[in-house]
Structure 1
Amino acid sequence: MTGHVTAPAAALADQLPDWVTLLRAPNPGPMTLDGTNTWLLRAPGQELGVVVDPGPADEGHLAAIAARGPIGLVLITHGHPDHTEGAARLSELLGGVPVLAADPAHTLGGSPLAAGASPDVPGLTVRLVPAPGHTADSVCFLVEHAAERVVLTGDTILGRGTTVVAHPDGHLGDYLASLELLSTYRGVPALPGHGPALADCGAAADFYLAHRRARLDQVRAAVAAGAGTAAEVVAAVYADVDRSLWWAAEWSVRAQLEYLAVPTRESGDGGTELEQP
């Protein structure tokens, strides 16, 4: 549980509702896994669909999304560029459809999404679920049609492995609370921002919560053992993670130190030093 996790946090979904389509962007990488997942939802018999997370500004990918039109709305789970960079161009390709996000900086042609918002999508019930933590503006979307439900989780829950808490914008306390909320969606498939769909959002959230709490115990132990900087905590706690990803691990470590109320200060070289009592 405390080692580097690369497997899915729950069983894979063997089948998704027929009103859900995955269009994966061609931007694979260590942080994006197979690429950014763009989800297209269209209720049976309805003309207009909704797109969640357009992904990068890749013309081929955006053209493939537009070809699945007509689309009446674009939704954003959070503001990282691998999810939002193509939003303005996609809106243009679709004739100026609104792009709605929690952050006004990523909202076009409408009002920013607020807690409890229910964007109007023909034939579907869409409810915004606030999920701050990975970033301050992270949200999920609970979508229902007839007896079927899915949760679009953005980067709050991934299809493989675990996500980073992108300190200082991300906040671990908020992230743990968001996972507690998502753990209530038992048996509801999770459609993540990267990686395969998972069969049970609640089970995945439970796994993430246990993993985060185990990591916190490791961070406490590293500090007690004399780690003097965030980088030294990363080396002790994330030793099994490829060094090329330690910069991202340090985001999470800084968030963990803040959560544990370990006093820190910026060092002269731009790192984070732990203040000694």
Structure 2
Amino acid sequence: MTGASSGDAADAGALPGRPRASVASGAATARAVNVLAPNPSPMTLDGTNTWIVAEPSSDLAVVIDPGPLDEAHLRAVIATAEQAGKRVALTLLTHGHPDHAEGAARFAELTRTPVRALDPALRLGDEGLAAGDVVATGGLELRVVPTPGHTADSLCFHLPADRAVLTGDTVLGRGTTVVAHPDGRLGDYLDSLRRLRSLTVDDGVTTVLPGHGPVLEDAQGAVEYYLAHRANRLAQVETAVENGLVTASEVVAEVYANVDRTLWPAAELSVRAQLEYLREHGLTR
């Protein structure tokens, strides 16, 4: 999967957890401001959320996911930071899909900042990102949380001061995300969701700042919904296989029959991941 990345479109409605009514550029928490990229689509929902994160008292900011290679959007991110009295000091990527990362190299040119990512191919500078890292800029603290599954290189960023987590495409503000097989793996994704649930239970995280869609103000409810959704989808796929369906496309036609067919290719990626998961666990041949 080379482009945008959101949405198991069978569930395009609002998630539980008091999602905000709309997606718009502006402050979401005391430290996080969204600049919405102009790339709406069935796969990217309203567009990519580019996050500017900074301590209120600092003049330094971190940008997470500059978004697509859109000059006007990249300059709008810089202008938004400057209007708040901030200078962009660092760029972080949640993962490498183009709707999040394609603009990163140009953004680095404009801001003269390094780009840190899990995937070495996406980095600009000497430092990457790894599990347990704490990104500290201008007094801001962001904790790196590995969340593979949507893609192998997916990360989330825990913002303890706002009791928030920036989730990229791992949890969306509306609908559910695709497991982008073969790079994405369902077993990894389920483990990542459980890791996020632990943040809500053990670390007090209440707010999801997603890569697409509105902010969610009940993080635990959203993650529990995702886990239940995945269990339900897996059961549906298993039943379809037991009923004699063999290929991923056959399963999609059965399980996603009521979904817009333009979204079936994304659904097929998730179904391939589910079939692989069932085989690995001895539940199908």
The answer for the alignment partner of 2:213 in structure 1 is 195
Runs of 4+ in 1 over 6 A off after TM superposition: none
Query: Structure 2 residue aligned with 1:82, among 90, 93, 99?
Result: 99
Q: What is the Cα deviation at residue 215 of structure 1?
A: 0.5
Q: For structure 2, which runs of at least 5 residues remain unmatched after alignment?
A: 1-7, 21-26
Query: Structure 1 residue aligned with 2:55, among 43, 58, 68?
Result: 43
The answer for the alignment partner of 1:266 in structure 2 is none
Establish whether residue 224 from structure 1 lines up as the match of residue 242 from structure 2: yes
2:9–2:175 Cα contact (<8 Å) kept: no
Query: Structure 2 residue aligned with 1:181, among 195, 220, 240?
Result: 195
1:131–1:156 Cα contact (<8 Å) kept: yes
What amino acid is aligned across from residue 12 of structure 1 in structure 2? R
When the two structures are superposed, what TM-score results if normalisation uses the length of structure 1? 0.90
Q: What is the Cα deviation at residue 3 of structure 1?
A: 9.3
2:9–2:267 Cα contact (<8 Å) kept: no
Query: Structure 1 residue aligned with 2:159, among 132, 137, 143?
Result: 143
When the two structures are superposed, what TM-score results if normalisation uses the length of structure 2? 0.87
Establish whether residue 171 from structure 1 lines up as the match of residue 185 from structure 2: yes
The answer for the alignment partner of 1:101 in structure 2 is 117
- Cα distance in 2 between the residues matched to 1:116 and 1:155: 20
* Two-structure CA RMSD over aligned residues (Å): 1.9
Q: What is the Cα deviation at residue 240 of structure 1?
A: 1.5
Q: Secondary structure at the match of 1:40?
A: strand
- Cα distance in 2 between the residues matched to 1:3 and 1:55: 21
Deviations 1:205-263 (A, max 9, x none): 11000000001110011001111211000001111111111111110000000000079
- Cα distance in 2 between the residues matched to 1:50 and 1:64: 15
Higher deviation after alignment, 165-174 or 5-14? 5-14
1:183–1:203 Cα contact (<8 Å) kept: no
2:9–2:263 Cα contact (<8 Å) kept: no
What amino acid is aligned across from residue 197 of structure 1 in structure 2? V
1:157–1:163 Cα contact (<8 Å) kept: yes
Q: Secondary structure at the match of 1:244?
A: helix
What amino acid is aligned across from residue 17 of structure 1 in structure 2? T
Query: Structure 1 residue aligned with 2:89, among 57, 65, 72?
Result: 72
Q: What is the Cα deviation at residue 13 of structure 1?
A: 5.2
The answer for the alignment partner of 1:205 in structure 2 is 223
1:3–1:240 Cα contact (<8 Å) kept: no
Larger Rg: 1
- Cα distance in 2 between the residues matched to 1:239 and 1:179: 26
What amino acid is aligned across from residue 180 of structure 2 in structure 1? A
The answer for the alignment partner of 2:276 in structure 1 is 258
1:19–1:43 Cα contact (<8 Å) kept: yes
Q: What is the Cα deviation at residue 199 of structure 1?
A: 0.5
The answer for the alignment partner of 2:166 in structure 1 is 152
Q: What is the Cα deviation at residue 119 of structure 1?
A: 1.4
- Cα distance in 1 between the residues matched to 2:142 and 2:149: 21
- Cα distance in 1 between the residues matched to 2:163 and 2:239: 41
1:13–1:189 Cα contact (<8 Å) kept: no
> Aligned pair in 2 of structure 1 residues 3, 143: CA closer, same or farther (>3 Å)?
closer
Identity of aligned residues (%): 56
- Tell me how many residue pairs correspond in the alignment: 261
